[in-house]
Amino acid sequence: MPNIKIFSGSSHPDLSQKIADRLGLELGKVVTKKFSNQETCVEIGESVRGEDVYIVQSGCGEINDNLMELLIMINACKIASASRVTAVIPCFPYARQDKKDKVGSRAPISAKLVANMLSVAGADHIITMDLHASQIQGFFDIPVDNLYAEPAVLKWIKENINEWKNCTIVSPDAGGAKRVTSIADRLNVDFALIHKERKKANEVDRMVLVGDVKDRVAILVDDMADTCGTVCHAADKLVSAGATKVYAILTHGIFSGPAISRINNANFEAVVKMMLWFFMFSVMFFSIRFYFN
């Protein structure tokens, strides 16, 4: 049985503690502090020599600080002779910057930069969930496990929406078409998508519904909701198209800026954040590695 140690970054200490409790382990000792000039300092408080180390840190909240903290923790463990370092990153930072959108664009591909930084810091393995763009897995030269929220989404729909057999699964943008078609196929229901055009980031200019939601329950499924402008506009579009109820199921509910007020004023029956279900998936994955690796 390998020696496993779990360390928590400052983004999700509760999640890290639940994982450790489930596995019957104690969280590793780590002290994170900042100097007066806001430099991040991390001290690993116990030996990791020859250990299989897992570091749980998400790319939400104070993204830049959390990312830098993760990189320093990975490097600290690696140069302290850890056998392997796995970064558990439920919400991958900078995942929306995964390509150049236009010909001749001078925009960076920041997701690739983050992948390079994680590799250079010393990560041997990445575990993440519902990447905004699947091709990000190809940015790494180390193993990446991209866990999917689909089983949890299916479970929630069947247990909480009585009319789910008369529903339409809707993607709020074309990029999520593959995700919603898979869920719709599993439920044996119809799907639809909304084509959106943006003038600039976090601001939707126009939406066009492709599909039928009249007299049906519409279930919006998306991987990420930041300011929630897209899902709220999508809800209005679905109601105007004849949907009887509108639900939103989101893997990564970031909810920055005016997101909460927009949700409260939108036409939702319920908005569900699936991030907490990551606990179930990560514990399952950790357990398999723990007992059979």
pLDDT at 289: 55
Angle between the 110-121 and 63-79 helix axes, to the nearest 10 degrees? 30
Cα–Cα distances (Å) from 137 to 1, 131, 244, 267, in that order, read 29, 8, 38, 35
pLDDT at 53: 94
Partners of 220 in the β-ladder: 170, 248
For residue 77, the surrounding DSSP H or E stretch is helix 63-79
**4-147 matches 150-275 in fold:** yes
Alpha-carbon 21 to chain mean position: 22
Domain residue ranges of the chain, discontinuous segments joined by +: 4-147, 150-275
**CATH domain 4-147 topology:** Rossmann fold (3.40.50)
For residue 44, the surrounding DSSP H or E stretch is strand 40-44
pTM of the shown model: 0.86
Burial of 138 (0-12, 13-18, 19+ CB in 10 A): exposed
Q: What is the pLDDT along the chain (293 residues), one digit of tens a residue?
A: 458 899 999 998 888 888 888 878 899 999 999 999 999 999 999 999 999 999 999 888 789 999 999 999 999 999 999 999 999 998 999 998 988 876 667 889 999 999 999 999 999 999 988 888 888 999 999 999 888 888 889 989 999 999 999 999 999 888 888 889 999 999 999 999 998 766 666 565 678 888 899 999 999 999 888 889 889 989 999 999 999 999 999 988 888 889 999 999 998 999 998 765 555 455 445 544 554 45
**CATH domain 150-275 topology:** Rossmann fold (3.40.50)
